[in-house]
Amino acid sequence: MAFNTRQVGRTNLKVTELGLGGATLGGNMEKVADDAGRRIVDTAYDAGIRYFDTAPYYGHGRSEHVMGDALRSRKDYVLSTKVGRLLKPVPDLSKMPDFGWQNPFPFEPVFDYSYDAIMRTYEDSLQRLGLAHIDILFIHDVDVYLADSGPAEFEKAVSGAYRALDELRRNGDVTAIGMGVNEAKPIADALPLGTWDVFLLAGRYTLLEQAPLQTLFPDLEKHGASIVIGGPFNSGVLAGRETWNYAKAPPDVMERVAGLKRVADAHKVPLAAAALQFVLAHPLICSVIPGPRSADEFKQILEWHGMSLPAALWNDLKSEGLVEADAPIPG
């Protein structure tokens, strides 16, 4: 299968519009055995996917390890990973805090956005992956770490990390740099602090919520950066589960999902297919990277991506106020 490719910012890098997110390889929702994780990556690559994303935090090194094993003999793919956490060995696993990962490697993640730590994290990732090159580096979860620290600490952290990433980009070690976060505001705050290529935004521009249309995307377009969308199903609530933001969805979210599903059902369209294709309609988005828990789940995602959906679906979603009136739609 051949997938459309899209340009990453103003770089010469192109990614397939459908990619693979690696959080599930680290066990973020449930345990995924290493061989099952490699099958997910193999299935994606064999289907024509050429963009893969991972991070040191995912399973405390497990996701990078599994993804590197699966990609090592492959060619012509784009790989992104993240910086901002160093992994420190934990000899006694009974003393390691619970970070929510199922069967993580015996390491504890420690936030550090300093120049030296970013360079160390980058080198550590190459070793965990067992690869000689990474295409895109994202500063990871700076929104989580600095949520209550104030603008000065945010700017200090981003500036230190940016200096390292910009040096790696200028040296040709990586092609594109950006941030990977769960909220739109940190991206907007970071735009004046550097020249960025691409940002990974998880769960905030979906069929369920489109606030970045007004709060972020216009400035991103002026900056010349692209967006990768993670979590297109909002942690599963748009794909038949009851999880939203990695926890049980509150009643107001479930009520909105029920409205979306009612319209989708009326058009005989799987809600997950509408969710996946909606995201890709925006021209700033270069790729969407769902995180399947198995090869079979990925095959289902492929079906959703390839479905032909009626134009009346999008018209009805907008007329009922379930999708922002100015949101780009497929077609």
Contact of 143 with 186, CB cutoff 8 Å: yes
**Would you say 284 and 14 are in contact if contact means Cβ atoms under 8 Å apart?**
no
Q: Are strands 14-16 and 243-244 parallel, antiparallel or unpaired?
A: unpaired
Cβ–Cβ < 8 Å for 216, 181? no
Asked if 51 is an active-site residue, the reply is no
For the chain, the straight-line distance linking the first and the last C-alpha, in angstroms and rounded, comes to: 20
Strand partners, 5: 16
> Contact, 185 vs 151, CB < 8 A?
no
The total of other beta-carbon atoms located within 10 Å of residue 290's CB is: 25
Say which of 82, 141, 143, 197 is annotated catalytic.
82
Query: Does the annotation count 58 as an active-site position?
Result: yes
By the 10 Å C-beta count (0-12 exposed, 13-18 middle, 19+ buried), 110 is classed as exposed
List, in sequence order, every beta strand (DSSP E) within the chain.
Answer: 5-7, 14-16, 20-21, 51-53, 78-83, 85-89, 107-111, 136-140, 176-181, 198-202, 226-230, 243-244, 247-248, 285-289
Class of residue 123 by CB neighbours under 10 A (exposed 0-12, middle 13-18, buried 19+): exposed
Q: Would you call 249 helix, strand, or coil by DSSP?
A: coil
The catalytically annotated residue of 45, 51, 53, 162 is 53
d(CA 162, CA 170) in angstroms, rounded, equals 12
Give catalytic status of residue 88 as yes or no. Answer: no
Yes or no: say if 16 and 4 are a contact pair by the CB < 8 Å rule.
yes
Set 45, 51, 57, 58: catalytic member: 58
Q: At what angle do helices 311-319 and 271-280 cross, to 10 degrees?
A: 90
Residues taking part in catalysis? 53, 58, 82
